[in-house]
């Protein structure tokens, strides 16, 4: 059997899944901020503010090329805070707690294994 699909880079699955979890966390925090406060102005301002804040925190500490270099424990702490914010946002949006717990555990495990691999 001859495979015609090009071979991807080995070891790129974990960082891609971790990036998707980070993206989901930023989106969940933003949606929570939009729906928690009454629309139009308080909700839009809170949504934009939390979006900017979460993206800045991600870019400073968790991006593939972070602006502030810390040890892996500092990055792990910031990542856990981002995940905790996303789990809290899920609970605030009314999602059942087992689903929020599943997302939190999945994101934390992916962050642990990808961080240990670096």
For 36-94, write each residue's pLDDT tens digit: 988 888 989 999 999 999 999 999 999 989 999 899 899 999 999 999 999 999 999 99
In the chain, the number of structural domains is: 1
Host domain of residue 111: 16-117
Asked whether 54 and 25 are in contact (CB, 8 A), the reply is yes
Rounded-to-integer distance, Cα 91 and Cα 4, Å:
45
Q: Using alpha carbons, list the distances in angstroms from residue 77 to 4, 40, 43, 80, 84.
A: 42, 34, 28, 5, 10
Q: Which residues contact 6 (CB under 8 A, 6 or more apart)?
A: none
Is the residue at 1 inside a domain? no
Rounded-to-integer distance, Cα 9 and Cα 58, Å:
24
Rounded-to-integer distance, Cα 47 and Cα 30, Å:
5
Is the residue at 3 inside a domain? no
Is the residue at 4 inside a domain? no
In percent, how much of the chain has pLDDT > 70?
91
């Amino acid at each position: 059997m001859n495979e015609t699909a090009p071979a991807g880079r080995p070891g790129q699955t974990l960082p891609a899944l971790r990036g998707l979890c980070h993206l989901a966390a930023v989106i969940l925090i933003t949606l929570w901020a939009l729906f928690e406060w009454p629309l139009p102005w308080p909700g839009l301002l809170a949504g934009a503010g939390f979006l900017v804040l979460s993206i800045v925190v991600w870019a400073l500490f968790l991006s593939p090329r972070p602006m502030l270099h810390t040890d892996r424990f500092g990055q792990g702490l910031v990542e856990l805070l981002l995940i905790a914010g996303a789990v809290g946002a899920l609970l605030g949006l009314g999602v059942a707690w087992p689903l929020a717990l599943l997302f939190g555990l999945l994101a934390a495990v992916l962050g642990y294994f990808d961080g240990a691999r670096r």
